[in-house]
Amino acid sequence: MSSIDGSAVRKLVVACDAGMGSSVMLAGQLRRELRKLPVVVEHHPVAAIPADADVVLCQAGLAARARSGAPGAVVVGFRLFLGDPRVAQVVAAVKSGGPVVGTPGG
């Protein structure tokens, strides 16, 4: 399991696979929440995560694929697109400088 201090996050990627729009909405929400910080929030398919991503947020079922496609990033899997505690923890850590800890397994 990897981790990064939230204050060191410069690129946060929301990765998806289904293309249903929920992850795009999450990326937009995160952009608004983090707009005052020097953090870029992007949305990418799980098969095309940029190499410079510091943190990747994706549905828990995609975490193993995201981890293999972005070995240098901290991958955080979540279950709910809105109101998931893992996403809230990442946002809080980026805002306050706490640890962002990747989820174990796949």
Residues known to be catalytic = 16
Q: How far apart, in Å, are the Cα atoms of 30 and each of 11, 23, 71, 94, 105?
A: 12, 10, 22, 11, 25
Which residues have C-beta within 8 Å of that of residue 35, sequence separation ≥ 6? none
Pairing of strands 11-16, 3-5: unpaired
